[in-house]
Amino acid sequence: MASIKPSAKGYRAFVYVKGVRDSQTFRTMREANAWASARETELRASDKLPVSDKHTLRDLLEKYRDEVSITKRGSRWEVVRINKFLKSTLPIDKPLSKCTTEIIGQWRDKQTLSAGSIIRELGMLRSIFEFARRELKWVSENPLKDVRKPPAPRHREVTITRWQIKKMLKAFGLTRGEIKNKSQSVAVCFLVALRTGMRAGELCDLTWGNVKSNYCILPMTKTIPRNVPLSKKAIRLIERMRGYDDTLVFNLTDTVRDVLFRKARDNAGLEGFTFHDARHTAATWISRKVDALTLCKIFGWSDTKMALTYYNPKASDISKLLD
């Protein structure tokens, strides 16, 4: 039953139907009564609507963010991206039934992001709508299924040179003594990445309990858990961190590691590579010593095509192997 109460700006109408509350302010009592009557009728009829008309894209994004994203290892960045969606030109407050392939395609065409970024955005939206289809039963079809993706950009083929590494270590202030600060910890972390191919997140999360005599255990990775073999040089680098922290080998967060790496790169007067390129560089170095299947095992790749993506030896290097 609706109720009308005087307010500072006129009259406020309140309705409560089947657990749903709503209210709105009007200038006159007549307008308030008319709205309340129409709103009650609308709420009573909502049970007859298809489920895809009862929930908006905002409902879906917020539910996925609050119930699914927070359970993931990379939750921080996924939550940031979903919050960005909520402020975007997507049809956020339209029913899911109105979020068609055509509407999503129009949104895609208006983006000024790189092709790689758009592909990632579409991939996340596809996963979110798949959650709505398979688990929530809010939609019967995934509208992202037929949305055309832009051509994928060429994979980065950046290998960090040894002279660049030397300049980076100097910028980090790494010396032969004990590790005294975060910058030096990032420097050793960088060197271990070059020797093992471990990802930045894996290195930041590495604990002393998972460091064995000649390998590291990675229980949480981007793909599947794996053990990473350590060369003698990698072992010596990790041992340099003994005493720096009792639990974490490098005692770094992804944010601190990223900021200090960029700062050192800028101070060294360098550009054109990121911390992740250390993994690419490691794959190129290690591929000279092991076969493709072993390389996949070390890097945690289930598809041997990934070995070709990361393995970029120079023609001159290959020619030496043929002699």
DSSP 200-212: HHHHHH-BGGGB-
* DSSP states along 208-247: GGGB-SSEEEESS-SSS-EEEE--HHHHHHHHTTTTT-SS
For CATH 1.10.150, the residue range(s) in the chain are 57-146
- Report the run of H or E that residue 23 belongs to, with start and end: strand 20-26
pTM (two decimals): 0.64
Q: What is the pLDDT of residues 108-164, one digit of tens each?
A: 999 888 888 899 999 999 999 999 999 999 999 999 999 999 887 776 678 899 999
Q: What is the pLDDT of residues 274-317, one digit of tens each?
A: 999 999 899 989 988 888 888 899 998 888 877 776 666 667 77
Is 247 exposed, middle or buried (CB count within 10 Å of its CB: 0-12, 13-18, 19+)? exposed
In this structure, the chain runs to a length of: 323
Cα–Cα distance measured from residue 237 to residue 75, given in angstroms and rounded to the nearest whole number: 30
Distance (Å) of CA 112 to CA 117, 118, 144, 156: 10, 9, 19, 20
Angle subtended at Cα 120 by Cα 130 and Cα 69, rounded to the nearest 5 degrees: 55
Of the CA atoms within 13 Å of residue 192, those in its CB half-sphere come to 29
Domain 57-146 class in CATH = mainly alpha
Architecture of the domain defined by 162-322: Orthogonal Bundle (1.10)
pLDDT of residue 278: 95
For CATH 1.10.443.10, the residue range(s) in the chain are 162-322
Q: What is the pLDDT of residues 37-90, one digit of tens each?
A: 888 887 777 666 677 788 899 999 999 999 998 887 667 788 999 999 999 989
DSSP letter for 135, please. I
Determine the distance from the C-alpha atom of residue 292 to the mean position of all C-alpha atoms in its chain, rounded to a whole number.
28
